[in-house]
Amino acid sequence: LQNHVALTARDLETLQHSLHDADAEAAAFRAVAAPLLARSPWQSTFEWLPRVTRAQRDAFETAPSALDGMSIRELDASGAVVRAGSRDEYFPVAWTDPAAGREALVGLDHAHDAQRGSALARALASRAMTSTPPLSSIADSPEGRLVQTLYAPVADEAAAAGFPSDPAPVRGVVAATLDLAGLLEASLAQMGTHDQTLLLFDPDAPASAALLWSDGKPLQIIAPETRQGLAARIAGGVST
């Protein structure tokens, strides 16, 4: 399992490096992303989220190389997708790979999302890779699968050249979305493990949720308050 996640992290770094060129285009992004997705079926989507300021918003929404007439969007309190409100900056999805089937993700501002926004903010502050908790809304996965998203910031090399003593400003973030059920299935198949029930959680984070997986059943998020009792009832091996 750790090896599969580490492979995704390396793939995300590959995409991160490919986007250091400010002139990179969607076709070049997909040319790098497509073979990475093909070899790792648990990776469902790669995305490019440029930093868009308030002043740049109109141009970004109308540019054919960006949203091509679509508005930057956000989720409201009820989970509906609406036009994004006015704020200083946005990190909307500009490109995805695959493109087909991911149209609903384009334009969504991850920075304004309650769960994804905190992980993205940590990536910006630390200039390091971060991840969300497990996510399950249609805005996270068009197929309604349980997923987790990793973020890696992309430095603005041109801006940094003028200020060598300062950290490079971030011009965007590249993201990888993992299909968690697919990740577990691939890992267990490689181990030759079958007909097991697994409860996965972080023992050092008692307030965090757990994941419950069984052959032939949907992957579930288990609330922290029920995790301990469930672990005691599961027969056989429990993975932590």
**What is the pLDDT of the chain when averaged over all its residues?**
83
Neighbouring C-beta atoms of residue 129, cutoff 10 Å: 18
Find the helix or strand (DSSP H, E) in which 39 lies.
helix 26-39
Instruction: State the average pLDDT over residues 30-55.
Output: 93
List the structure tokens of 234: 């599961």
pLDDT in tens, 48-68: 999 999 999 999 999 998 899
**192: CB partners within 8 A, 6+ apart:** none
Q: What strands, in cross-sheet order, belong to the sheet with 220-222?
A: 197-200, 210-214, 220-222
The count of residues in the chain is: 240
Question: Predicted confidence band at 163 (pLDDT cuts at 50, 70, 90)?
Answer: very low
**31: CB partners within 8 A, 6+ apart:** none
pLDDT in tens, 70-124: 999 998 888 888 999 999 999 999 999 999 999 999 999 999 988 899 999 999 9
